[in-house]
Each structure stands twice: as structure tokens, then as C-alpha cells.
Structure 1
Amino acid sequence: MAEYIDAEHARDVAALEASLTARTEWPTWLLIAAVYGGWVATVLLVRAHALSLGAATPLPVVLCAWHMSMQHELLHGHPTRFAALNKLLGYPPLAIWFPCTLYRDTHLEHHRDEALTLPGLDPESNYVPAERWRSWPAWRRALWHARKRFVGRMVVGPPMSAAAVLAEAWRALRERDRRYAPMWAAHLLCVAALLAALDLWAGVPWWYYLLAVTWPALSLATIRSLYEHRAAPDPKARIVINEAGFVMRLLFLNNNYHLVHHDLPSLAWYCLPGAYRLRRDAYAVKSGHFVIRGGYRELLRLYAWRATDGPVHPNWPRLSGAGTPRPATQRPAAG
């Protein structure tokens, strides 16, 4: 449900949504064409030996990270009113590791603001309960500590997220929970077809695509979620406003204005900056001044090697009102 600062803000946002741009959704259609067109063009250039594999690699890395941002936009109801069509537009598994359906379901759970950051209740939480933390071996604690740092998150974030998703799939298989079996079967079939086409037709070894393209793409995507949420008593004070520069805003489709997105989840990515500028000071107050004025460069400067905060949730279980839950599936927070 949309949440506005005041009635005037609601009217101004409605005007944004009534614009020709919002009604035609041409920026999102252009985005879809750019992501898939750029990816296909890069593969064709490599196949034709017009571009070496090494020189071409940075392009699909960025495009796969951008594709994950695009998937996030599609699952929030863009560019059409038809959820099935939007899902189809984002279904090709360019980044390989995370099924589109799983991302949709877990991310929509994440949008329950009252549960934000709470381990086991928020599927994108970066925290663990103290009792679970005490039971973990030293190596696992070290990984979670590393993931709270800019550089560490880029290195260990992707394998930790992939391992958590695969572990959850294995748990469901052991417990004979078949809800997601068709999803995994379809996803694995698409992944196999994609990797086979790259390897046999385009001359891009499947292992190279996995290690040199999708892994760095996931690393790039994890930057946004490094300090996207924090543990705080007020749910709105848990959500950041990151005033990133143009390049990173484009890569993350303005999801850096994260509190605005949580308040207005159906607002298109190209409208978020306008909605924020309308009430910039009010959003700063609402977030508990959880505002990063210097963008991701400031995050890098402050937290390259220093932790943003601790892995143990300081308010658990007081805020949750529940006992220790099963660990939630962790995502690279493409949403």
C-alpha cells in the first residue's frame, strides 16, 4: 500500500504517474531492449571474433547486474498490468543463480516493513539472532563479519547468497516440500540451454561465463544492499536514503532511494527521484536521518574494510515477538 508524506505529496506523485512517460512506460521498455540487446550484441561480437572474450567480459558483467535490477522493477508491476507478462520479460536467467519466481516471492515478503531486518522474518535480512550466532563455528562468523564490509561483501556475498538458496532448496527436497520443484526444473532447464548455447555456439566456455561473468555481476549487485537496511526500533528508520550519483542510480534503477521505494513500491523507477525531491527533508526525518549523502563512494570510503554494524541483530527477539525461526533464504538483495 502506498504511503505518502502528506496529501499534497500524494497529489504530486499522482501527477508523476499521470505523465505520458509513466503511462507509456517507455523508459522501462527501453531498459528491457538495452539489457537484452546489449547482452545479445556482446555475444554476437564474441562469436564473430570482432571482440575478444577478455575485452568483452565487462559488458555482460554490468548487463547481468542491470538485469537483476530490471527483474526487481518487473516484479513490482512494470511495464504492463499483467504480472505473467512482466515475469516472462524478466525470466531469462542471465545471472544464472537465482530463479525469477523465487526472487519475486521472497522479495515481496521483504516489503513487510514491520518485519524488516528481523532474522527469519525478513528474507533479505543481514542479521542473525544471538543464540544462533553463538552456535556457529568461527569460520562462519568470519564470513558474516566480512559481508558487513564493502570489499568483503563483494568477495563473499555472492557465494554466501548462492549457498543459502541452494541449501534451502535441498532442505525442501529432503522434507518433500515440492512447492518450488516446477520452478527449479524450469530454471535449471533454461540455465542448461543458455550455457550450452554460449559454449557450443558462441564459443564462450560455460565455466568462464559462470566464474568471470555471473560471479562479478552478483558482486556488483551486492553493493546496493551493503547498508540498505539497519536494525532500528522504528521500521522506517531501518530503510536508507542513498543519494548516489547518476551511474549507480542508473545501474540500480534509483532503488538507492530505498525508503521512497518501500513507501511507494508500485512507483516506477524513473519516478522515484522526483518523488524524493518533492519531500527530501521530510524523508530524511522519516528515515531517522539514515541518509548517505555521498552515495556509494562514501560507503566505500567509510566501510571498505570497516563493518557497517554487527551481524547480530541487537533488538531480536524483542521486536519480532517470536522465538528463533528457521533461517530465511538469503538473496543478493536485487530488491
Structure 2
Amino acid sequence: MAEYFDAEHAQAVAALEARFAARTEWPTWLLIAGVYGGWFATLLMVRHHALSLHAAAPLLAVLCAWHMSMQHELLHGHPTQYAFLNKLLGFAPLTIWFPYTLYRDTHLEHHRDEALTLPGLDPETNYVPAGEWQRWPAWRRALWHARKSFVGRMVVSPPMSAAAVLAAAFKALRTRDRRYAPMWIVHGACVAALLFALQHWAGVPWWFYLLAVTWPALSLATIRSLYEHRAAPDPKARIAINEAGAAMRLLFLNNNYHLVHHDLPSLAWYNLPRAYHLRRADYADKCADFVIRGGYGELLRRYAWKATDAPVHPFGNGAA
């Protein structure tokens, strides 16, 4: 459900959605072509020895991180109104570890703003309930402290996130929860086919792709979520605005304007900057000035090795 400041704001947003770009969704179609085309072209150059594996790896990692941002747009109803078609457009498991269907379902659940950051309620929370924290061994606490810093998050968050997803899948298997069983079967088959094609067609060893492409891609993707939510009594004060530079805005498809996205979840990525600057001061007030004006460079300077905040949620004591 869209949230507007007033009738004038609603009219301004409606005008954005009436523009040619929004009616045709050509920027998103171009994005989809660019992501898949760039990924395939890079592999083609590796196959024909026009590009070395080590030179291709960072390009593929950036494209895979961009693909994850693209999936976020698809699950929010772009570029078509048909969820099944959008799913087909984003289903390819370029980053291997997270099935599109699972990402879609958990992310849409995350959009309940009243539950944001609360352990056990927000599936994307970066916090732990106090009771559970006390039972954890020291090594596990250390990992959670590390993922609260910029560098630490890039290093430990990808394996932690992948392990959590796989652990949840095995738990469902043990408890005979078959809700996502078809999804995992199809996803596993697609991953196997992708890794086989990479090894035998493109000449990219499967283990190299996992370690040198998907891991760095996940590391890049975790930068956005480092401090886009915080624990606060007011749900809107939990959502950040990050005034990032052009390169990071493009990589994250303007999702750095996170409060705008939460208030207007169906607004396409290319309209988020305009929507933000229409009411910039109002959005700063709404999130209690949770505005990172120096972009991700500011986060790196302030939190390279220092935690953004404590891993234990100050008032979210539910079961994780």
C-alpha cells in the first residue's frame, strides 16, 4: 500500500507513473537485456580466450550483483503486471545460492513496516533477540559482530546467509514441510545445468565460479543492507535514506532511497530519485534524519571495522 504525505504528493507520484518510461517500462527491459547480455558476452569472451578467467571474474561478480538488484524489481511487479512472467525473467540462478521464489516470498514479508527489524517477524533482520544471544557460543557472536561492520559484512555475510538458507531448507526437510520442496528441486536442477554449462561450454570451472564470482557478488550486494534498517520505536525511523553516488545507485537500482521504496513499493527503480527529491526534507523528517548523506563511502569511513550498532535488538525479544 502506497503512503503519501498529502494529496499533492500523490498527484506528483501519479504523474511519474504516467510518464512514457513507466508506461512502457523500457528502462527495466533495457536493464534485463543488459544484465543477461553482459553476463553471456563475458562468458563468450572467456570461451574464445579474448578474456582471461581472472579478468572476467570481477565483471561477472558485478553483473551477478546487478542481477540480484534486478530480481528485486521483478518481484515488485516490473516490468510486467504478470508475476509468473516476471518470475521467468528473474529465475536464472546466476548467483546460485538463493532461489528467486524464496527471495520473493521473504522480501514481500519484509515489507510489513510495523515488523521491520524485529527478530522472528522480519525475515531480513540484522538483529538477534537477547535471550537467544545469551545462549550462543562465542564464535557465533563474533561472526554477528563482524557482519555489523562494512568490511566484516562483505567477508562473513555471504557464507552466513547461504548457510542460513540451506539450514532452513534442511530443517523443512526434517519436519516434512514440503511447501518449498518443488522450488528446491527445480532450483537445484537449474544450478546443476548452469554449472555444467559453465565448465564444459564456457571453460569456467564450477568451483571457480562459486568462489570467484558468486561470493564476491554476494559481498557487493550486502553493502546495501549494511545499515538500511535500524532498531527504533517508530517503524519509519527504522528505514534509511542513503544519498549514494551514481555508480552505487545504478548497481542497487536506487534502492538506496530505501524509505521511498518502502512507502511506494510499486514505484519503479528509475522513478525513485525523482520521487525522493520531490519531498527530500519530508522524507528526512519521516525517518528521524536516518539519512546517510555521504553515501556508501561515508559508511565505509565510519564503519569499516566498527559495528554500526549492537547485534542484539533493544526491544525485539521474539524468537528468531
Is 1:59 aligned to 2:59, yes or no? yes
Structure 1 residue ranges, 4+ long, deviating more than 6 angstroms after superposition: none
Structure 2 match to 1:143: 143
After superposition, residues 88-107 of structure 1 pair within 5 angstroms as 88-107=88-107
Distance 1:211 1:55 in 2: 14
Per-residue deviation at 1:290?
0.2
Shift of 1:241: 0.3
CA distance in 1, matches of 2:231, 2:263: 18
* Higher helix content, 1 or 2: 2
Letter in 2 for 1:273: P
1:1-335 to structure 2, matched below 5 A, reads 1-317=1-317, 324-325=318-319, 327=320
Which shows bigger deviation, 48-57 or 91-100?
48-57
Letter of the structure 1 residue corresponding to residue 112 of structure 2: R
Aligned residue in 2 for 1:330:
none
Structure 2 alignment gaps of length 5 or more: none
Distance in 2 of aligned mates of 1:51 and 1:244: 31
Question: Shift of the alpha carbon at 1:109?
Answer: 0.3
Alpha-carbon distance between aligned partners in 2 of 1:266 and 1:242, rounded to the nearest angstrom: 19
SS in 2 for 1:104: helix
Taking the aligned partners of 1:158 and 1:55, their CA distance within structure 2 comes to 22
State the Cα deviation string for residues 80-137 of structure 1 (Å, max 9, x = none): 0111000100000000000000000000000000000000100000001100000000
Between the aligned partners of 1:51 and 1:139, the Cα distance in structure 2 is 41
Kindly provide the CA deviation profile for residues 133-192 of structure 1, in whole angstroms up to 9, marking residues without a partner as x: 000000000000000000000000000000000000010000000000000000000000
Q: State the TM-score, normalized to the length of structure 1.
A: 0.95
CA distance in 1, matches of 2:21, 2:89: 20
Aligned equivalents of 2:174, 2:289: Cα separation in 1: 45
Partner Cα distance (1:5, 1:190) in 2: 44
Q: Give the count of matched residue pairs.
A: 320
Match of 1:320 in 2: none
In 2: Cα distance, 1:173 partner to 1:208 partner: 29
Partner SS state of residue 224, structure 1: helix
- CA distance in 2: counterparts of 1:79 and 1:136, whole angstroms: 43
| CA-based RMSD | 0.5
Shift of 1:316: 2.1
Aligned sequence identity (%): 80
Amino acid at match of 1:233: P
Q: Distance in 1 between matches of 2:238 and 2:245?
A: 22
Structure 1: gaps (5+ residues)? 318-323, 328-335
Cα separation, 2, equivalents of 1:128 and 1:72: 25
Query: 1:58 offset after TM fit, Å?
Result: 1.0
